[in-house]
Structure 1
Amino acid sequence: MTTAATAPHAGRARILLLLLGVVWGLNWPAVKVALSGVSPWGLRSIGLGAAACTVFALGLARRRKLAVRAGRDRLHIAVAGVLNIAAFNILLTFAQLGAATSRVAIITYSMPLWATLLARFALGERLDRVRVAGLLLGACGLALLLAPLAGGGLPRGILLALGAAFTWAAGTIYTKWARISAEPLAVAAWQLLIGALVALTGLLSFEGMPHWPNWHAVHNAVLVALAYHIVFGMALGYILWFNIISSLPAGVAALGTLLVPVVGVAGAVLLLGERPGLSDLGGFALIFCAALCVLLPRNMGARRDAP
């Protein structure tokens, strides 16, 4: 229950959650535009690097303990960073090169469904009726969205989007299983740094030493999109997120992020001129409802199961 003392903070956090939904939602079309002038490896190196620096600076400003003890915690943070940040963001970037942004956004937010399945097998979490209904809705939504595309084999971008959703889910479940004892802000900062280092390694391996681009030759739309991705999508986005989770229960915060794909799809339609078909919109509606089911507080499902 929210006390009178904490109610103003919770109310402010809900406003920030709406703002975050818009900021992260518009980041989807921004990334698509930026990729027309910046390489995927370069984009992720810059964006994740900026996010890591921002979260480290936030931790120092709040006088949080950012050091992580040697041993198991460092290993778990490294594995979670590769899954949660590096693999997720890199797969997602290449997915947007091979598929419509609206479809990639819809498929990516099937993540709660994969996390629910992985939690059942890896953590032994019980599936109540609400979550079973969510899984069925999600399966139907994915089938409706993917069926028209499967005639000649699923496009590479769609497969990469599915991979991104799965690695995000795997990283989330791994983090929960590992029970890392470090400060949450420190865990996030180090994971972002690991993601940036993996992206930089990919940049150096596949593209060689980066050279200073001729910014005069880059289209203005690309520059605006890149600036939005770095300043708003990554830096401001993570500042908002950590302010939100410090004031709201994790379940409420997770439910609030469902606004992100809504804004992302709308942004792809309005800013990129994409026109999702009926199967896309139907799949989106089912996956959205499915995610809502599996993110609902667990005691709600228990009450519905009660005789």
Structure 2
Amino acid sequence: MSSTNARTLLLVPLLGLLWGFNWPAVRISLSEIAPWTLRAGGMTFAGLTLVVIALLRGQSLRVRRPEWPRLLLAGFLSIAAFNVLLAFAQLMAPTSRAAILTFTMPIWATLLARLWLGEALDRRKLLGLALGIAGLASLGLPLIRGGGLTLGLLFALIAALSWALGTIVTKRWPVSAPAVTVAAWQLLIGGAVAALGMLAFEGLPVPKMLAPRTLAALSFHILGAQALAYFLWFTVIARLPAGIASIGTLMVPAVGVLGSVVLLGERPSPSDWLGLVLVVAASGTILLPARPLASLKAAR
């Protein structure tokens, strides 16, 4: 393995930590910042960050006119609706449970790809789906029996489905532009949608002094989990196989749950922990290639 790839590999767990701790950071930020306002600012800043990255790399920001409708639809589903729904999910439900439910995204994407794109379900994907169903049952059945199902958890589940639908749209009607360009425009689309929601439901934000804890969480959300994380993500996927890069995303729900325990004082139940293990196992089975180490050797 080259020294460059070895150093890049160290960025994978860092990404998992940045995106994982973003869950409690967003929840803390929401204690003083309205959800539409938070998402409008966060997505817009992230989109502008990717614009800068694209320009520094000499990549074009141009998207062909016939491809704008599919870009708008995918951006609305996988970025705008996904992020706004999760903001309200975290206001109405424990962050740890919302993180676990949200990470069923690859499971729904696999099912929808089978139904709408005709993609085959091999043994690995079937195992992933079975683990995912078991994880949802572990989470949901105790809540149903105890009357603990909330609107916030429903929002988290709809957010996962919305992301999966956006993925299907992207697969079915791809946009012929660099990945960083597509992501930048989708985030800016998400920021514009959230800004409209902000104006409609919250009005223009009034500047105010935030508590130190909230300010620290907001700074981490914008600078760490948005600007830095997106820069690192596109650095990783440019140098390592997609399967290896995906390992970092598998850390996100686990770090999110642990962060919620440490920073928010949440106490997940045994069924929550079991659901977390099963959902991460399901996503790993679906996302990772059969031989991730072989893929890594190919990058030498």
Kindly provide the amino acid, as one letter, of the partner of residue 62 in structure 1: R
Aligned to 2:177: 182
Aligned to 2:113: 119
What CA distance in whole angstroms lies between the structure 2 residues aligned with 1:174 and 1:8?
37
Decide whether the 8 Å contact of 1:88 with 1:168 is kept in 2: yes
2:229 pairs with 1:237: yes
Q: May I ask how many residue pairs the two structures share in their alignment?
A: 291
| Residue identity opposite 1:125 in structure 2 | E
Match of 1:100 among 94, 100, 112: 94
Write the mapping of 1:147-296 to structure 2, written as runs, cut at 5 A: 147-151=141-145, 152=147, 154-211=149-206, 213-215=207-209, 218-296=210-288
Displacement, 1:10? Answer: 2.6
Which string of whole-angstrom CA distances, capped at 9 and with x for unpartnered residues, describes residues 165-215 of structure 1? Answer: 11111111211111211121111110010000001000001112322x221
Residue 34 of structure 1: aligned partner: 29
Q: Distance in 2 between matches of 1:40 and 1:69?
A: 33
User: How far has the Cα of 1:83 moved from its partner?
Assistant: 0.8
Q: Match of 1:47?
A: 42
Amino acid paired to 2:230: Y
Shift of 1:299: 8.0
Give 1:63's aligned residue. Answer: 58
Distance 1:297 1:120 in 2: 18
Counterpart secondary structure, 1:150 = helix
Give the RMSD, CA atoms, in angstroms. 1.5
- Mapped partners of 1:257, 1:299: distance in 2: 17
Identical aligned residues as a percent:
51
In the alignment, the residues of structure 2 paired with residue 299 and residue 238 of structure 1 have an alpha-carbon distance, to the nearest angstrom, of 26
Alpha carbons 1:149, 1:155 under 8 Å: kept = no
TM-score normalised to structure 1 length: 0.91
Gaps of 5+ in 1: 301-307
Moved over 6 A (4+): none
TM-score normalized by structure 2?
A: 0.93
Query: Secondary structure of the residue that 1:115 maps to in structure 2?
Result: helix
Single out whichever of 254-263 and 134-143 deviates more from structure 2: 254-263
Unaligned regions of 5+ residues in structure 2, if any? 293-300
Q: Distance in 2 between matches of 1:18 and 1:46?
A: 26
* 1:267 counterpart letter in structure 2: G
Aligned-partner residue type, residue 223 of structure 1: L
- Deviation, 1:48, is 0.6
1:65 aligned counterpart, secondary structure: coil
| In the alignment, structure 1 residue 8 sits paired with structure 2 residue 3 | yes
Residue 78 of structure 2: which of 64, 80, 84 is its match?
Answer: 84
TM-superposition CA deviations, 1:87-121 (whole Å, max 9, x none):
11011111000111111111111111101101111
